Amino acid sequence: MEPENNTQISEFVLLGFSEDPELQPLIYGLFLSMYLVTVLGNLLIILAIISDAHLHTPMYFFLTVLSFVDICFTSTSIPKMLVNIQIHSKVITYAGCIAQLYFLLLFAGLDDFLLAVMAYDRFVAICHPLHYTVIMSPRLCVLLVLVSWIISVSHSLLQSLMVLRLSFCTDLEIPHFFCELNQVVHQACSDTFLNDAVIYVAAVLLAIGPLAGILYSYSKIVSCIRAISSAQGKYKAFSTCASHLSVVSLFYCTCIGVYLSSAVTPNSRSTATASVMYMVVTPMLNPFIYSLRNKDIKSALGRLLGRETLKVPIVLRLKKCP
Q: Is residue 249 part of a domain?
A: yes
Whole-number pLDDT of residue 191: 87
Q: In CATH, what number is assigned to the domain containing residue 274?
A: 1.20.1070.10
Q: Is residue 39 part of a domain?
A: yes
CB 272 within 8 A of CB 175: yes
Whole-number pLDDT of residue 313: 46
What confidence tens digit (pLDDT) does each residue in 108-131 have?
999 999 999 999 999 999 999 899
Whole-number pLDDT of residue 267: 54
Residue 240's pLDDT band (cuts 50, 70, 90): confident
Whole-number pLDDT of residue 39: 96
Q: Is residue 322 part of a domain?
A: no
Angle between helices 94-127 and 138-164 (to 10 degrees): 150
The answer to whether residue 7 scores a pLDDT higher than 90 is no
What confidence tens digit (pLDDT) does each residue in 32-75 have?
999 999 999 999 999 999 998 888 999 999 999 999 999 999 99
Q: Is residue 248 part of a domain?
A: yes
Looking at 143-157, 208-222, 274-288, 308-322, which range is the least confident one? 308-322
Q: Is residue 131 part of a domain?
A: yes
Q: Write b or e for each residue in 65-84: b if 16 or more Cβ atoms lie within 10 A of its Cβ, otherwise e.
A: bbbbbbbbbbbbbbebbbeb
Whole-number pLDDT of residue 233: 77
Whole-number pLDDT of residue 249: 84
Residue 189's pLDDT band (cuts 50, 70, 90): confident
Q: Is residue 317 part of a domain?
A: no
Alpha carbon dihedral 150, 196, 76, 143, in 10-degree steps, equals -10
Residue 171's pLDDT band (cuts 50, 70, 90): low
The answer to whether residue 301 scores a pLDDT higher than 80 is yes
Q: Is residue 318 part of a domain?
A: no
Helices in 87-164 by DSSP H: which ranges? 94-127, 132-135, 138-164
Number of domains in the chain: 1
d(CA 178, CA 259): 16
Q: Is residue 135 part of a domain?
A: yes
List CB contacts of 175: < 8 A, sequence separation 6 or more: 15, 183, 267, 268, 269, 271, 272
The answer to whether residue 309 scores a pLDDT higher than 70 is no
Whole-number pLDDT of residue 204: 84
This prediction's pTM: 0.87
Which domain covers residue 90, as residue numbers?
A: 7-310
Q: For the chain, state the CA radius of gyration.
A: 23
